[in-house]
Amino acid sequence: MKIDPIKRELLKNALVTIADNALVMVVRTARSANVKNSMDFSAAICDGQGRLVAQGMAVPVHLGAIMPALKGCLDYFGDDIQPGDVLASNDPYSGCSHLNDIFTFKPVYANGRRIAFVGLILHHTDLGGRVPGGNAADSNEIFEEGLRIPPVKLVEAGRPSRPMLRMIEFNSRVPERVLGDLKAQLAALDQAEKELQKLLGAWEIDAFDGYMSNLIDYAEELTRSSIAALPDGEVEFEEWNDDDGVHEGPFKIHLKLTKRGEEIVCDFSQSPPQQGGAVHSNYVFTASCAYAAIRTLIGETVPNNAGLYRPIRVIAPEGSIVSARFPAAVGSRGQIGFRIRSIVLGALGKLTGGRMPACPGGSEFAIAASGYGADGRRFLHLEFHNTTGNGGGPLRDGQDAGPNCISNLANVPVELIEAENPIRVEEYAFLADTGGAGKYRGALGIARQYRFLSSDVVVQVRSDRFKSRPWGMNGGGEGAAARAWLNPGTRGEAALPSKFIRVMQENDVFRAEMAGSGGYGDPAERDPVAVMEDVMQGKITPAHAREAYGVVINADGSLDLSGTRALRQDRARLPEGQAA
């Protein structure tokens, strides 16, 4: 069949639009802040065989799990799939990622033939388990983490499964919110199916199927071309994680990245074995994180589909921290996922001679706080504040409070947190002097400070970067480390670890300070005017300007250019490691 490239591009855009429209439907109808505000969801369209063809605006690391999750459903149901069915699963050992992410797939038929699947992933607030929110870092088995849903039919021949919906309802601490989000998910699938059926009406079915296959092949061709343009080589990169949730750390994760011709191999074989806790990743999520990181170097015009993954091979031995073996808990796999992504990005930076920005900041911070308000109703605040912005890059500073290229969850507004929960957010602010120094500065760290307005609130926090800092690139400095306190500034002040579960009482305060991003390039090459502007905006102090950049700021805030030249010249003459 001869392919018309213009027609192929129109089809690609139409499929992406259908996926995006499904997510708009979710935002308009969902109940939880994590879904409707943070947008912790993803949408995709697969062909009738289960191959990813298009994706919408989404969390990048969700999408590498789309095909394995759908394959788990197809392997179980085989030919027992009919029009009007909705397949669902959240089981990490059936191709999904962790229990809070429920994957749903609806088949689309034309002339009695299955042509495609529309798919949606939503992170649901609570599916039971020993700790509210289900993300506890110190769980040791998946059975502690909540309701495990194997491949099932959530809807069969157009009729919702009442037993399954009741099972989910009875296994959640906030069933109204979870069922509301689940119904939004199902409604969005229905809408996507209708829009896809409308699109199919303008096509001959064999041609539509052929163009979808070609779209995947086209993405592979472009991906291979982009990889071929990178230098060949073998580089190694390692990072540290504070702990695994139950054992003292830090522990090292190692990557050997090999690029030859049109292919990339990411080999995590030297990473440590799993020991316990829930800061593990299954293979599916590790591969998904690696794909998302490599995607940042692939041309923007390359379609996001299965073809993108074909030239990339991920090696992660079963039983390791990056490929946990059943029945390991994986509820906190998101945190180790950030480390996997930063390792791959660091290796790509070495491979390309610094084309990549420095390490993004943030402490991979997640909080779940649950208790009962004055009205006697259960509340459960779930929030992921994963990044504080990018590291400095080859051309510009990291954007303070900006999204990271591979984690695009949105901010939860303070007003919404306070309206829905007995929680007061006392501070939400940049932290001065925390961005890594460099020719281009890393994004600043961010503080979140919460006061709890009811008693016996179970607070579970998953974070990191207390012991290892976000790295700089090409001579740039590290970002500041993360920190956390209970009741700061009082007689009861106490430092807290990066991961904990504890009961907070009324007027207890929890403060989280997230790590700053790494800097790019030699700080001595930073424009003194840019340093002065950072001082004027309160992003750095005059003392930090002098110490980190060799820039002298006068008492009135003006730039002392002659003093700066002299200080930098003095430092340039000193042996490395000595300060003027």
Is 515 in the same domain as 538?
A: no
Residue 32: closest CA among 124, 100, 94: 124
The answer to whether the beta carbons of residues 359 and 407 sit under 8 Å apart is: no
Residue 83 lies in a domain: yes
Is 169 in the same domain as 104?
A: yes
Which domain range does residue 100 map to? Answer: 5-220
The answer to whether the beta carbons of residues 567 and 546 sit under 8 Å apart is: yes
pLDDT digits (tens, 9 = 90+) for 389-433: 899 999 999 999 987 766 778 888 999 999 999 999 999 999 999
Provide the CA 117 distance to its chain's centre, in angstroms. Answer: 24
The confidence score (pLDDT) of residue 186 equals 98
Edge to edge, what strands does the sheet with 86-89 contain? 52-55, 41-47, 113-123, 101-110, 86-89, 152-156, 159-160
The confidence score (pLDDT) of residue 135 equals 87
Q: How many helices (H) and strands (E) does the chain have?
A: 13, 20
Q: Residue 522 — very low, low, confident or very high, per pLDDT cuts 50/70/90?
A: very high
Please provide the average confidence, as pLDDT, over all residues in the chain: 94
CA distances from 429 to 37, 382, 401, 511 (A): 20, 20, 10, 11
The answer to whether the beta carbons of residues 230 and 351 sit under 8 Å apart is: yes
Is 450 in the same domain as 564?
A: no
CA distances from 526 to 275, 545, 550 (A): 44, 11, 9
The confidence score (pLDDT) of residue 7 equals 96
Spatial distance between the Cα atoms of 209 and 71, rounded to a whole number of angstroms: 19
Is 384 in the same domain as 426?
A: yes
The answer to whether the beta carbons of residues 443 and 401 sit under 8 Å apart is: yes
The confidence score (pLDDT) of residue 205 equals 95
Spatial distance between the Cα atoms of 279 and 324, rounded to a whole number of angstroms: 10
Spatial distance between the Cα atoms of 25 and 12, rounded to a whole number of angstroms: 20
Is 72 in the same domain as 169?
A: yes
Tell me the backbone φ, ψ of residue 363, rounded to 5 degrees: -115, 20
Q: Please report, rounded to a whole number, the percentage of residues in the chain having pLDDT higher than 90.
A: 88
Work out the number of other CB atoms within 10 angstroms of the CB of residue 354: 17
pLDDT digits (tens, 9 = 90+) for 172-196: 999 999 999 999 999 999 999 999 9
The confidence score (pLDDT) of residue 62 equals 82
Residue 328 lies in a domain: no
pLDDT digits (tens, 9 = 90+) for 7-43: 999 999 999 999 999 999 999 999 999 999 999 999 9
The answer to whether the beta carbons of residues 336 and 268 sit under 8 Å apart is: no
Tokens of 436: 């890594």
pLDDT digits (tens, 9 = 90+) for 277-296: 999 899 999 999 999 999 98
Residue 476: closest CA among 427, 536, 549, 541: 549
Tokens of 292: 């998302």
Q: Residue 66 — very low, low, confident or very high, per pLDDT cuts 50/70/90?
A: very high
Spatial distance between the Cα atoms of 100 and 97, rounded to a whole number of angstroms: 9
| For residue 362, pLDDT beyond 80 | yes
Mean pLDDT of 114-119: 98
Helix residue ranges per DSSP H, 201-329:
205-228, 283-295
Spatial distance between the Cα atoms of 384 and 375, rounded to a whole number of angstroms: 26
The confidence score (pLDDT) of residue 576 equals 60
pLDDT digits (tens, 9 = 90+) for 288-342: 999 999 998 998 889 999 999 999 999 999 999 999 999 999 999 999 999 999 9
How many domains does the chain contain in total?
A: 3
Task: Examine the fold and report which residue of 220, 253, 284 is the final residue of a domain before the chain moves on.
Answer: 220
Is 216 in the same domain as 72?
A: yes
Is 472 in the same domain as 551?
A: no
Is 450 in the same domain as 494?
A: yes
| For residue 64, pLDDT beyond 90 | no
Spatial distance between the Cα atoms of 45 and 16, rounded to a whole number of angstroms: 8
Is 517 in the same domain as 543?
A: no
pLDDT digits (tens, 9 = 90+) for 444-468: 999 999 999 999 999 999 999 999 9
Is 18 in the same domain as 111?
A: yes
The confidence score (pLDDT) of residue 387 equals 79
Residue 296 lies in a domain: no
Residue 309: closest CA among 9, 18, 53: 53
pLDDT digits (tens, 9 = 90+) for 148-158: 999 999 999 99
Task: Examine the fold and report which residue of 220, 237, 264 is the final residue of a domain before the chain moves on.
Answer: 220
Task: Examine the fold and report which residue of 220, 240, 266 is the final residue of a domain before the chain moves on.
Answer: 220
| For residue 1, pLDDT beyond 90 | no
| Mutual angle of helices 528-536 and 542-549, in 10-degree steps | 150
Residue 122 lies in a domain: yes
Residue 492 lies in a domain: yes
pLDDT digits (tens, 9 = 90+) for 69-82: 999 999 999 999 99
Tell me the backbone φ, ψ of residue 186, rounded to 5 degrees: -70, -40
Is 365 in the same domain as 380?
A: yes
pLDDT digits (tens, 9 = 90+) for 48-62: 999 999 998 878 888
Give me the half-sphere count of Cα atoms (radius 13 Å) on the Cβ side of residue 39. 20
In the DSSP assignment, the letter for residue 232 is P
Residue 477 lies in a domain: yes
Residue 538 lies in a domain: yes
Residue 439: closest CA among 334, 341, 568, 557: 568
Residue 74 lies in a domain: yes
Is 550 in the same domain as 415?
A: no
